[in-house]
Chains A and B, each alone.
Chain A
Amino acid sequence: MNNQQREALATRVLGMVASGDAEVLVSADESALTRFTRDTIHQNVAKHETSISLRILRDGKMGVARTNILNDEGLEACVAHASALTAFSPPDPLLGQLPVSPTVEPTPGAFDQATTDATPMYRADAVATIFKHAQAANAWCAGYVSTASYGVTIANSRGALQSFDGTDAAINTKMTAPDSTGFAEAHATNIASLDADAVGRRAARIAVDSAQPVGVAPGEWTVVLAPAAFGELLTYIGDHFSAQAFDEGSSFFGRDLGRPYFSPNLSISDDFSHPLAPSMPFDFEGQRKSRVDLVRSGIVNDIVTDSYYARKLGRTNTGHALPAPNAVGPQPLNLVVAPGKHTRDDLVHSVERGLFITRFWYIRVVDRRRAIVTGMTRDGTFLIENGSIVRGVKNMRFNVSIVDALAHCEPAREQARTGGYAYSLVVPTVRIDGFTFTSGTDF
């Protein structure tokens, strides 16, 4: 469904709502993913769906209904459900009028027609390329190749109307050698930027180089985190910059903005327009997104808001609403860590004895207020001695406060996009001193 069709659908739904403010979110997704392991493709899927989400605000009460039945009967039922739900809530005085923002221009680089048109054979060919690298390295591989296009239209009864079309493509693979593993990934909004050959080669190289890993003692280490590792760690502090957490006082900085918590070398923004990860220029209320400097030279500088929390806190609406309703409030979904002065190799050379970490796994929050998390290393952990990566080491469990870690952090010059099932962000490799490991594994 193209954006004219989505806008027509949104207008049709708004016309069915008899009273109250109404907001319609139309989502149209086309996605495909080819998943492989060892020497075969074991999951190969495609999906097409168009659906709507309707929010009705009436006298400070809210109801939301969603449906993918887009005939008159389905839409009328959706309107009736949303309307009925508004009858039973006590009024919330902070539920004000829906926001109206001027129409936002598309984000450059966010849409690519070739990615939309990618075929199953394109994905299969990329998989075959990775198989060759696995075979050459005497390893086996597992990973995926995916392509997706998604269209979003948001309209409300006060006149807001925004549409966006975006694409995304990704390749990731893990290589498993007899006693070691390696990992590499690539993400882009256009498939032409993805290089399956490079991804396969890099993952195989890491697996080969980390062979015959040795155990090292837990304790405090200087670490150099590759983008995949640093990016995953950073996602566990992103929600501290939500206006909801700020309002509750559950962020690590409580309600204190303007204080230095991190290394002066560190700046973090939320930036939907970064060329490595261009995305939707408005939020799920149709509000224009602002670039927000969350951390400026180590100082906690700002938070992200939506219309509700902007009203509640008397702050500007930064355009970071998630689809309504949600339990987590506005969120920074496009984290970008500014590049540093030194190269990645400079960071490694600066370490007398430490660990280079390719990727983390299963990070979980141990203590919310102090931002203490635990997790494991995986897929390529190396010993650094006298400024050089010398050999693979067995995997280890860490327990660190992200706040403490970022206070002793030096970012590299090169940025990369990294991602997982629930996040996408742009980060450099970083050096962190005093990173605490508490136990190890036999592999």
Chain B
Amino acid sequence: MTFSSAAHRALDAACSRGAHYADVRFENNRTERIEVRNGVVAAFVDTTSIGYGIRALIDGAWGFCASNDLSDAGLDLAAKRAVEIARACSSVAHTKFGAAPQTRYVDHYETPHIIDPRLIPLGKRVALLLDAERALHIEDSIGVGRAWIDLWRSEKHFYSSIGSKIEQTILQSGSGIAAMAIGDGDVQTRNFPGDNGLYQSGGWEIIERAQLLENAPRIAQEALELLRAPQTPSGITDVVLGGSQVSLQIHESCGHPAELDRVLGWEANFSGTSFLEVNQLGNLRYGSDLVSISVDNTLPLGMATCGYDDEGTKSVHSDIVRNGLLTGYEMSNDTARSIGRESNACVRAESWEFVPMIRMCNLVLAPGNTPFEELFTDIKDGIYMESNRSWSIDDRRLNFQFGCEIAWEIHNGKRGRMLKNPTYGGVTPQFWNSCDAIGDHASWVAWGTPNCGKGEPMQTGRTTQAAAPARFRNVAVGVGFNE
């Protein structure tokens, strides 16, 4: 049976049972994880997963059923269950918000890439990690060395009862190294690149770009030096954040609060609501004039880059914050219509077995015009922090506290001695309004996040926050270490 004939069977089964609209998404997913830990291959996993999810809409209420049973009977049963669920949902729901996509697409998309990872021999993939991990062990105090590669290949086939037929092949790749130094009653860890590796859409060229082996000795040395480094002091000071940390800041304090389902209360019991309420659209001064953040699902190298989202809406670029002003959200068909807008294609499911929902996709902080080293020049006393270590923010996304792996003092415009356990905290709009410089395009990177959690059942999303280092004034630092 082809996906096309299976899709027609499933859609016919759903519509004949009363669905006003139905779609079905088949996925054939292949993932590979290799992890080397202290000289041994601790993980070497090849996963193949095929299945489908059917959405049925009845009287403004959705039902969803997923299965890996591709037989005729399996398709019929899944369609029947999706319809039954929609009907049960409709029976108690007072508000019927469900809305079907209006535009039909017949198209295909493939992630641009240079080297198909399948062409790289398995032995070469493992050897790269063994070499990089070995290079971390520059002293016995490196208690744990790790090096890893993740490869994803997803073939998606989307069909809907309005005639959409969209075929996509998505490739995403990532790799990283980490050194854990243990000694003097302390544990300090450094990751590279960024805080969890370099994750982007594309092929093996993404792995090569990370330059794991070349950077391993430096990362290990930094982990060792952190054991002996002084504690980051507590107080109010100017801060420069490295690009990957700005990426995390965007993710937590803009990406999540700008998800319109969260704004509408759909995540209230779990991942929370949002301070970016609909009546503030066009009015809220989210950040300084320098701060412009957009959602761009066509971004080259973005982990969420694709032709169409998982309810069949074509990828677009749209503003969230323009010159500091709140102007938009990440939206689905349902939620966009509830505020008189159109979807900007931000609906994703982790894989076939999950219901598509609004997910953070690719967020882009527009680069500024300040070369990286000039971010420090007019700081008399401050701190430069790199690589996220901890992240916590309240359930309306206002009060946050983040920690980094490593920091350096800034004195009279120059970087000074290394500091350990750096943390900083604040309140989201005040913090972004204190941003007075953003790095230029030369320091701007599409940082991928491979493990963003949201939803019940929990789904793991892969997002990107493209960012450059940035400067913030009068920030509370050393939070949590006041002793």
Q: A399 near B479 (CB under 8 angstroms)?
A: yes
B390 → chain A, closest Cβ, in Å? Answer: 4
B81-140: which residues lie under 8 A (CB-CB) from chain A? Answer: 81-82, 84-89, 91-97, 122-123, 125-127, 130
Chain B residues with CB below 8 A from A66, complex form: 45-49
Residue of A nearest to B65 (CB): A46
Query: Known: A127-B92, A366-B403, A443-B396. Is A69-B458 also a contact (CB below 8 A)?
Result: no
Residue of B nearest to A397 (CB): B399
Q: Is A205 interfacial (CB 8 A cutoff)?
A: no
* In the complex, per-residue mask of B49-77: 1 if CB is within 8 Å of any chain A CB, else 0: 11100000000011111111100000000
Q: Is B37 interfacial (CB 8 A cutoff)?
A: yes
In the bound complex, CA of A421 to CA of B455 (Å): 9
* In the complex, per-residue mask of B143-172: 1 if CB is within 8 Å of any chain A CB, else 0: 110100000000000000000000000000
In the bound complex, CA of A38 to CA of B268 (Å): 10
In the bound complex, CA of A252 to CA of B158 (Å): 49
8 Å CB contact of A51 from B49, B143, B185: B49
8 Å CB contact of A362 from B46, B92, B265, B395: B395
From A56-64, A156-164, A349-357, A406-414, the one touching the partner chain is A56-64
Q: B88 near A44 (CB under 8 angstroms)?
A: yes
Q: B64 near A45 (CB under 8 angstroms)?
A: yes
8 Å CB contact of A49 from B68, B89, B272: B68
Q: Is B230 interfacial (CB 8 A cutoff)?
A: no
In the bound complex, CA of A140 to CA of B266 (Å): 11
Q: B355 near A78 (CB under 8 angstroms)?
A: no
B338 → chain A, closest Cβ, in Å? Answer: 11
Query: Known: A64-B46, A90-B39, A441-B399. Is A421-B458 also a contact (CB below 8 A)?
Result: yes
In the bound complex, CA of A66 to CA of B63 (Å): 29
8 Å CB contact of A68 from B51, B389, B403: B51
A146 → chain B, closest Cβ, in Å? Answer: 8
Chain A residues with CB below 8 A from B96, complex form: 40
Q: Is B278 interfacial (CB 8 A cutoff)?
A: no
* In the complex, per-residue mask of A213-238: 1 if CB is within 8 Å of any chain B CB, else 0: 00000000000000000000000000
Q: A78 near B48 (CB under 8 angstroms)?
A: yes
Q: B43 near A374 (CB under 8 angstroms)?
A: no
Most buried by B among A42, A325, A326, A372: A42
Residue of B nearest to A128 (CB): B92
Q: Is B393 interfacial (CB 8 A cutoff)?
A: yes
B410 → chain A, closest Cβ, in Å? Answer: 22
Chain A residues with CB below 8 A from B125, complex form: 88
Chain B residues with CB below 8 A from A120, complex form: 63, 84-85, 87-89
Q: A88 near B41 (CB under 8 angstroms)?
A: yes
In the bound complex, CA of A42 to CA of B481 (Å): 42
Residue of A nearest to B90 (CB): A41
Q: B390 near A365 (CB under 8 angstroms)?
A: yes
Q: A63 near B91 (CB under 8 angstroms)?
A: no
B399-436: which residues lie under 8 A (CB-CB) from chain A? Answer: 399, 401, 403, 421, 423, 425
Q: Is A297 interfacial (CB 8 A cutoff)?
A: no
Q: B40 near A89 (CB under 8 angstroms)?
A: yes
Residue of A nearest to B77 (CB): A48
Q: B268 near A438 (CB under 8 angstroms)?
A: no
Chain A residues with CB below 8 A from B122, complex form: 84-85, 87-88
Q: Is A424 interfacial (CB 8 A cutoff)?
A: no
Query: Known: A41-B61, A66-B45. Is A88-B126 also a contact (CB below 8 A)?
Result: yes
Q: A366 near B480 (CB under 8 angstroms)?
A: yes
Q: Is A265 interfacial (CB 8 A cutoff)?
A: no
Chain A residues with CB below 8 A from B40, complex form: 89-90, 92
Q: B42 near A248 (CB under 8 angstroms)?
A: no
B92 → chain A, closest Cβ, in Å? Answer: 5
Chain A residues with CB below 8 A from B127, complex form: 88
In the bound complex, CA of A121 to CA of B68 (Å): 24
Residue of A nearest to B185 (CB): A369
In the bound complex, CA of A303 to CA of B448 (Å): 35
Chain B residues with CB below 8 A from A441, complex form: 394, 396, 398-399
Chain A residues with CB below 8 A from B45, complex form: 64-66, 85, 325
Q: B89 near A142 (CB under 8 angstroms)?
A: no
Residue of B nearest to A42 (CB): B266
Query: Known: A123-B88, A372-B480. Is A67-B47 also a contact (CB below 8 A)?
Result: yes
B277-299: which residues lie under 8 A (CB-CB) from chain A? Answer: none
Residue of B nearest to A38 (CB): B265
Query: Known: A46-B65, A49-B67, A366-B480. Is A144-B269 also a contact (CB below 8 A)?
Result: yes
Q: Is A368 interfacial (CB 8 A cutoff)?
A: yes
8 Å CB contact of A89 from B41, B392, B399: B41
From A11-19, A27-35, A280-288, the one touching the partner chain is A27-35
8 Å CB contact of B353 from A49, A361, A443: A49
Chain A residues with CB below 8 A from B37, complex form: 327
8 Å CB contact of B68 from A50, A81, A364: A50
Q: Is A250 interfacial (CB 8 A cutoff)?
A: yes
Chain A residues with CB below 8 A from B378, complex form: none
In the bound complex, CA of A301 to CA of B270 (Å): 34
Query: Known: A46-B66, A89-B40, A441-B398. Is A39-B93 also a contact (CB below 8 A)?
Result: yes
In the bound complex, CA of A192 to CA of B270 (Å): 24
Q: Is B379 interfacial (CB 8 A cutoff)?
A: no
Q: A44 near B89 (CB under 8 angstroms)?
A: yes
Q: B44 near A248 (CB under 8 angstroms)?
A: no
Q: A46 near B43 (CB under 8 angstroms)?
A: no
A346-391: which residues lie under 8 A (CB-CB) from chain B? Answer: 361-369, 372, 374-376, 378
Q: Is B456 interfacial (CB 8 A cutoff)?
A: yes
B189 → chain A, closest Cβ, in Å? Answer: 8
In the bound complex, CA of A325 to CA of B423 (Å): 33
In the bound complex, CA of A48 to CA of B453 (Å): 22
From A2-10, A101-109, A171-179, A426-434, the one touching the partner chain is A171-179
Q: A38 near B95 (CB under 8 angstroms)?
A: yes
8 Å CB contact of B457 from A33, A39, A254, A327: A33
8 Å CB contact of A361 from B48, B69, B395: B395
In the bound complex, CA of A61 to CA of B40 (Å): 9
Q: Is B316 interfacial (CB 8 A cutoff)?
A: no
A53 → chain B, closest Cβ, in Å? Answer: 8
8 Å CB contact of B88 from A124, A146, A249, A326: A124
Query: Known: A44-B64, A142-B269, A325-B35. Is A374-B392 also a contact (CB below 8 A)?
Result: yes
Q: Is A37 interfacial (CB 8 A cutoff)?
A: yes
Chain B residues with CB below 8 A from A364, complex form: 390-392, 403
B155-211: which residues lie under 8 A (CB-CB) from chain A? Answer: 180, 182, 185-187, 189
In the bound complex, CA of A87 to CA of B44 (Å): 11
Q: Is A316 interfacial (CB 8 A cutoff)?
A: no
8 Å CB contact of B392 from A90, A140, A376: A376
In the bound complex, CA of A375 to CA of B267 (Å): 18
Q: Is A166 interfacial (CB 8 A cutoff)?
A: no
Q: B85 near A46 (CB under 8 angstroms)?
A: yes
Chain A residues with CB below 8 A from B41, complex form: 61-62, 88-90, 92
A51 → chain B, closest Cβ, in Å? Answer: 7
Q: A248 near B85 (CB under 8 angstroms)?
A: no
Most buried by A among B65, B66, B269, B425: B269
Chain B residues with CB below 8 A from A31, complex form: 457
In the bound complex, CA of A174 to CA of B394 (Å): 15
In the bound complex, CA of A376 to CA of B396 (Å): 11
A-B residue pairs in contact (CB < 8 Å), sample of 17:
A32-B85, A45-B64, A48-B65, A48-B69, A64-B43, A65-B46, A68-B51, A84-B122, A85-B45, A87-B122, A92-B40, A142-B268, A250-B182, A421-B457, A422-B458, A438-B482, A439-B401
Which B residues are within 8 Å of any A CB, using their own CB?
35, 37, 39-51, 61-69, 78, 81-82, 84-89, 91-97, 122-123, 125-127, 130, 143-144, 146, 180, 182, 185-187, 189, 261, 264-270, 272, 353-355, 357, 389-396, 398-399, 401, 403, 421, 423, 425, 453, 455-458, 479-482
**Additional pairs, 10, CB under 8 Å, beyond known A144-B456, A395-B399:** A42-B261, A45-B65, A63-B46, A64-B44, A81-B46, A88-B44, A120-B63, A248-B182, A367-B421, A367-B480
